[in-house]
Amino acid sequence: MDPAAIWSILEQVPDPEIPAVSVVDLGIVRSVEEGKVVITPTYSGCPATLFIEQSIREALDAAGFRSVGIETALFPAWSTDGISDAGKEKLRAYGIAPPDLAKTATCPQCGSTDTEEVSRFGSTPCKAQWRCRSCLEPFDRFKCH
Ligand SMILES: [Zn+2]
For residue 131, report the distance from its CA to the centre of ligand 1, in Å: 8
Q: Which residue has the higher pLDDT, 51 or 3?
A: 3
- Write out the DSSP string of 99-129: P-SSSSPPPTTT----EEEEES--SSTTEEE
Q: Which residue has the higher pLDDT, 124 or 31?
A: 31
Which among 6-10, 71-75, 81-85, 118-122 has the top mean pLDDT?
6-10
Asked if pLDDT for residue 145 goes beyond 50, the answer is no
Mean pLDDT check: name the lowest of 97-101, 134-138, 140-144: 97-101
For residue 139, report the distance from its CA to the centre of ligand 1, in Å: 9
For residue 124, report the distance from its CA to the centre of ligand 1, in Å: 21
Q: What CA–CA distance (Å, rounded) separates 43 from 41?
A: 5
pLDDT on residue 69: 96
Q: What CA–CA distance (Å, rounded) separates 140 from 108?
A: 9
Mean pLDDT check: name the lowest of 7-16, 58-67, 90-99: 90-99
For residue 122, report the distance from its CA to the centre of ligand 1, in Å: 17
pLDDT tens-digit readout, 35-85: 999 998 876 556 677 888 999 999 999 999 999 999 988 888 888 888 999
For residue 133, report the distance from its CA to the centre of ligand 1, in Å: 7
Asked if pLDDT for residue 23 goes beyond 90, the answer is yes
Query: What are the φ and ψ backbone dihedral angles of 86, each rounded to 5 degrees?
Result: -65, -40
pLDDT band at residue 135 using 50, 70 and 90 as cut-offs: very high
For residue 21, report the distance from its CA to the centre of ligand 1, in Å: 22
pLDDT band at residue 115 using 50, 70 and 90 as cut-offs: very high
For residue 135, report the distance from its CA to the centre of ligand 1, in Å: 4
Instruction: Kindly state the average pLDDT of the residues 122-130.
Output: 76
